[in-house]
Structure 1
Amino acid sequence: EIIRTLQDFCVHQGISTHMECTGLDLVLDGDKVSGLVGYWRETGRFVLFKTKAIILATGGGGKAWKVTSNSWEYTGDGLGMAYRAGAELIDMEFTQFHPTGMVWPPSVKGILVTEGVRGDGGILLNSEGERFMFNYIPEKFASETADTEEEASRWLDGDRDARRPPELLTRDVVARAIKKEVEADRGSPNGGAFLDIASRRSADFIKKKLPSMYHQFKELAEIDITEEPMEVGPTLHYFMGGIRVNSDSQQTNIPGLFACGECAGGMHGANRLGGNSLSDLLVFGKLAGDGAANYINSLTDQLDCSNEDVSKILKAATDILNREEGKNPYLVHEELQSILQTYVSIVRTGEELASGLEKLQALKTDINEVFAHASAQFNPGWNEALDLKNLIITAEAVTRAALIREESRGAHTRLDFTGERDEGLEYNIIIKKTTSGMSAEKIQRDSPPKELADIAFASLKELEGDNLGA
């Protein structure tokens, strides 16, 4: 609804909208953004946008994984374009796996099952019928989480003295719990867990409160969730990391380049709470717009787009069409997804990450040799090939950052470095382009203002009682 409203507003304000137009690369004049080369996916026609500022709001790169809730366009375009232009990426190791994605049938694997199912009373069961989340309550959440079914039911009925059900623990905790149940041979038939709301709520309640979920399972899996449980499992959902920006203006280290939303990093730290992405978009989208406008108003330089730079971008894109033979882009994408799903998944080890990085490095050769020999018009193979250059940057950045962070924090879990380390709070991992390739390094993190730190480290009772600073 927000997108429809914005589209309607743009039309009535006379703002140009370019549907199905994909960015290829940024153009710089010296160190400043001066334009962007894009193309229309249907016709294959190129377009050059000359501009004084660009706001990237391209989302994450979930299509680098085999199982993801992300739709086809989440190929890390903004991350790749910004990186190639010299912008820094931050916190890329923190990738969120939502605990409840569809697992069957295979054609819909990964499609999101909303948190609302658990919020309205749905419970997670293993193949033995056990409500297993009571076995996975982390110590740091124990004071806020119900440890009996009776207390969990009271919370659902509105008892303010009761603690939250364990199914509503943070996404990383629930996702890891489902993974462990599957590994212990207590998973559902298709490699997940059972999400049951049918035994907890009436059919009328479910249809009224969860109409989209009711129709989703009815149409895609031929399951009536008012009568039987759903099968769900972890799915790559969201990037906490992204392009490094100034928190006030949303500007990157490249003058004129701004980013907001999921493609910008740093807002959610190591883990995002459910529902916070929408408010992130609204608040920081506004800040990015204000920042870009202020930058343009202060700009005195006349910017230009070099014909040589534009020609290089066009040649790189059309070389794929002009090759007589090469690698199939669809098969290369499948291989990339397999590497990430296997070596850079929910739970990681240094050995697996190093192996994954080695395989990604080898895959770069194949990506440089992909071809889609045909017209640029209506050529999805060419679209796929162009997306790969951003997916490989995204995949490598996540893997390198995950290898460096030798602790478990938020959505980043290392089996060889269990638990959080105090020094882990003191740094961020920055990814940037160098003459020798991609570099990843730790940088000292600034301490947050006291009032923000008080909120960040407060308990739920302190927040609800508004006793901060007392």
Structure 2
Amino acid sequence: MDKQKTIVVAHTILERGGNVVVIDKASFFGGNSTKATSGINGAGTEAQMRNEIKDSSSVFFQDSKKSARELARDDLLHVLTGKSGDAIKWLTEEFKLDLSKVARLGGHSQPRTHRGEGGQFPGMTITYALMEKLEDLAQSQPNRAKVLKKSCVTRLLQDNDLTVTGVEYEKDGQKFTELGPVILATGGYAADFGDNSLLAKHRPDLMHLPTTNGPWSTGDGHKMVLGIGGAAVDLEKVQVHPTGLVDPKEPDSKVKFLAAEALRGVGGLLVDNQGQRFCDELGHRDYVTGRMWEIKKDPIRLILNGPASRQIEWHCKHYVGRGLMKKFTNGFDLAKEMGVSSDALKKTFQDYNDIAHGKKKDPYGKKFFFDKGDEWKMDDTFHVAQMTPVLHFTMGGVEINASAEILGEQGTIPGLFACGELAGGVHGANRLGGSSLLGCVVFGRVAGDSAARYMLTENLNGKAAQRLGLLGAHVAGQPLETKVRIDPSNSKLTLEYSWGHQDDSNAGTSQPPAQSEPARQGDRTTAQMEPEKIDEPASKKTENKSEFTVEDVKKHTSKDDCWVIVHDEVLDVTNFLPEHPGGEKAIMLYAGRDATEEFDMLHPPGVIQKYAPQSVIGSVKK
């Protein structure tokens, strides 16, 4: 499958003593989780206590229920919010992640959205830490963890009792099967614009909108589950985020980057084309989007003053580097850019100051404002970007219970679990910012626990039945027969034993756990596959490479011929574009130029050498 929650599931099962095979149709783990920009929610955490934030899981539950409205599922919300503190603790202790900075997002009564002090996008930081540890485990303990990328699951396997027993998947044009309980973590359908589109079926009115999602968000898991009689809930509930960043060079692009909700959490204002506020910037996402559509005064701009910008400096610097945000040294230049008078913009700022200080009542009911001394004034610096509503998240999905078991018409579907965006009903009618990453971790852990418990129960029940059968045969006085089978092709020895001339299907077998199902004719099992090749170190691949001038690199700026510079190395990323987890556009913004500064904002050291060494074609000529 794919997405960050898959990695969470894998780590959880390994912690519980199980073995795991992770199947991902993409070249890299992470999915949309790597794009998460504001942080991960948690209530009652150490970071909150250090900052004297009085929060609890019960307060978080009430905030989430209010956002979910009439579609709130108390059982799922109790799991999400009640385990949120433990989720933060697990990430910080097991993966040594810094989640010490806490902010307030829209719809939250307390600051509870965690990110690191370093400023990097928390989604990428969290995902990379989990991914790196899992891949290390797959290398050091290949008998316990296996990672299969560029592999697409095509169907769920079931026995005569409709228990899910495994999956069939395709890799390199061949079919394979893998047996065991199945945890689906395939994400949502906010980029499902093709044939058999869930968006077209359930929300055709939103098909024209751009999306923040990667091309993998096509509802694959939903369609597989529905195909075997699984239940779905709230498929019409699609979250349209109010603050997609408009690229001035490509204003009509179908894929857009998200302006983190944390930009408003630190004090950013939304204004219309007349420079006037029109909403509570920290209202629920559907409310803010609705106001944007209602007033119809584009372009809508998000403005951060100096104090707000300094609280989230890294994000602003990143957006400016991508050409999606501008910096102004004073409000007069900003007013000129907006095409409004300086007096009009000044009045907006002064009115907001008066509201924040309690001198006026906010017509939009805003409750949370900037710190004292951070007033808005024309003599200040500003970061500004144009906003547009974007498809962002799907609250609808397959129906689950509080144990992350997928439901069908007759109750739970044995052997099948779901987590992350695929799991419907968790967020009701509207998701709170920061709860997407949280849902990945919490329900990823729950699904992993449930699947491990299911495996243990099935294993114990099977062995108990086997022992009873053998005992009965022994009491009946049948002679003991043993068979030893040796398979030289995979160095496997199988010992079979029975009393009398039992059918082989009832014989006892001693063999390693978690064997793959024999494939149908023409197919192969995972065990028959050749080990995935590991790229040779970049140090070998870059020997005797050419030198290029900066002017040489500037000539390669198209999708069919794209070069970039990172740390004085020249990369030909043409073939890598469709595999980049952040999408092609994330690289194309830097085509033909030095992307070192922006690259370092998102990526840890060594990522090129580990995942794309073949892209390095030379160095910059000094």
**Structure-1 separation of matches of 2:180 and 2:212:** 34
Deviation at 1:296, TM superposition (A): 1.6
Mapped to 1, the partners of 2:523 and 2:291 lie a distance apart of: 49
Quick one: structure 1 residues 206 and 101, their matched pair in 2 at CA, closer, same or farther if it must change by over 3 Å?
A: same
CA distance in 1, matches of 2:222, 2:518: 21
Q: What is the root-mean-square deviation in Å for CA atoms of aligned residues?
A: 2.9
User: Does 2:146 align with 1:16?
Assistant: yes
Residue 110 of structure 1 aligns to a residue whose secondary structure is coil
Deviations 1:72-122 (A, max 9, x none): 211111111111122111121211111100233233753211001111111
Instruction: Tell me the SS of whatever aligns to 1:107.
Output: coil
What does residue 282 of structure 1 align with?
Answer: 441
> Partners of 1:34 and 1:12 in 2: how far apart?
28
Counterparts of 1:63-462 in structure 2, within 5 Å, are 63-64=191-192, 65=207, 66-104=209-247, 105=250, 106-107=252-253, 109-133=255-279, 166-182=280-296, 186-188=297-299, 193-197=300-304, 200-202=305-307, 206=309, 209-221=312-324, 223-224=326-327, 227=382, 229-252=384-407, 253-299=412-458, 300=461, 307=520
Tell me, in whole angstroms, the C-alpha distance in 2 between the residues paired with 1:82 and 1:210: 43
Per-residue displacement from partner, 1:279-329 (whole Å, max 9, x unpaired)?
222111111011111112222569967839989xxxxxxxxxxxxxxxxxx
Cα distance change on mapping 1:71 and 1:131 into 2, 3 Å: same
Change (3 A) 1:222 1:122: closer
Shift in Å at residue 179 of structure 1? 1.1
Bigger Rg, structure 1 or 2: 2
Deviation at 1:215, TM superposition (A): 1.7
Contact 2:320 2:326 in 1 (8 A): yes
Higher helix share: 1
Question: Could you report, residue by residue, the CA deviation over 1:340-359 in whole angstroms, capped at 9, with x for unpaired residues?
Answer: xxxxxxxxxxxxxxxxxxxx
One-letter amino acid of the counterpart of residue 155, structure 2:
D
**Kept in 1: contact 2:395–2:421 (CA 8 A):** yes
Q: Letter of the aligned partner of 1:55 in structure 2?
A: I
Alpha-carbon separation, structure 2, partners of 1:210 and 1:2:
20
Instruction: Report the counterpart of residue 159 of structure 2 in structure 1.
Output: 29
What residue identity is the alignment partner of 1:187? D
Would you identify which runs of 4 or more consecutive aligned residues in structure 1 move more than 6 Å?
Answer: 308-311
CA displacement at 1:212 relative to structure 2 = 2.9
Q: Aligned pair in 2 of structure 1 residues 245, 233: CA closer, same or farther (>3 Å)?
A: same
Deviation digits for residues 145-188 of structure 1 (CA, Å, limit 9, x no counterpart): xxxxxxxxxxxxxxxxxxxxx10000000001111122xxx211
CA distance, structure 1, for counterparts of residue 277 and residue 189 of structure 2: 33
CA contact (8 A) 1:39 1:47 kept: yes
Asked if the contact 2:239/2:393 (under 8 Å) is kept, the reply is: yes
SS of the residue aligned with 2:403? coil
Amino acid in the other structure paired with 1:26? L
SS of equivalent residue, structure 2 residue 428: coil
Secondary structure at 1:237 match in 2: strand
Which residue is 1:334 aligned to?
A: none
Does the CA-based 8 Å contact 2:240-2:391 persist in structure 1? Answer: yes
Q: 1-side partners of 2:176 and 2:323: how far apart? A: 41
Cα distance in 1 for residues equivalent to 2:156 and 2:521: 13
**What's 2:127 paired with?**
3
Partner residue in 2 for 1:396: none
Question: Given that residues 164 and 181 in structure 2 are in contact (C-alpha distance below 8 angstroms), is that contact kept between their aligned partners in structure 1?
Answer: yes
> How far, CA to CA, are the matches of 1:268 and 1:222 in structure 2?
31
Distance 1:172 1:123 in 2: 17
The answer on whether the counterparts of 1:69 and 1:101 sit within 8 Å (CA) in structure 2 is: yes
* C-alpha spacing 1:220/1:107, structure 2 compared with 1 (3 Å): farther
Cα gap change, 1:54/1:291 in structure 2, threshold over 3 Å: closer, same or farther? same
Hey, what's the Cα distance between the residues in 2 that align with 1:240 and 1:263? 8
Distance 2:158 2:277 in 1: 56
Does the 8 A contact of 2:303 with 2:382 survive in 1? no
Q: 2-side partners of 1:294 and 1:223: how far apart? A: 53
The separation in 1 between residues aligned to 2:131 and 2:175, in whole angstroms, is: 21
Question: Does the Cα contact within 8 Å between 2:301 and 2:384 map onto a contact in 1?
Answer: yes
Seen in structure 2, the aligned counterparts of structure 1 residues 305 and 195 have a Cα distance that, compared at 3 Å, is farther
CA offsets per residue over residues 214-273 of structure 1, 9 Å max, x none?
A: 322432436337645211011111111111112124343321110011100111111111
Indicate yes or no: 2:190 matched with 1:62: yes
- For residues 249 and 173 of structure 1, the distance between their equivalents in structure 2, rounded to whole angstroms, comes to 30
Residues 284, 230 of structure 1: CA spacing in aligned structure 2 closer, same or farther, 3 A cutoff? same
| CA offsets 1:347-394 (integer angstroms, 9 cap, x no match) | xxxxxxxxxxxxxxxxxxxxxxxxxxxxxxx9x99xxxxxxxxxxxxx
Structure 1 unaligned blocks of 5 or more = 134-165, 312-377, 382-470
Amino acid at match of 1:117: L
Deviation string, structure 1 residues 106-148 (Cα, Å, up to 9, x no partner):
3375321100111111111111111111xxxxxxxxxxxxxxx
Distance 1:210 1:68, change over 3 A: farther
CA pair 273-305 structure 1, distance change in 2 beyond 3 A: farther
Of 279-288 and 100-109, the range deviating more from structure 2: 100-109
Counterpart contact for 1:97–1:234, Cα < 8 Å: yes
How many residues end up aligned between the 2 structures? 268
Q: Which residue number in structure 1 is paired with residue 181 of structure 2? A: 53
Kept in 2, the 8 Å contact 1:250–1:284? The answer is no
Q: Residue 271 of structure 2 contacts residue 277 of structure 2 at CA under 8 Å; is this kept in 1?
A: yes
Q: Look up the equivalent residue of 1:277 and give its one-letter code.
A: S
Structure 2 regions of 5+ residues with no counterpart?
1-124, 193-206, 329-380, 463-504, 506-515, 525-574, 579-622
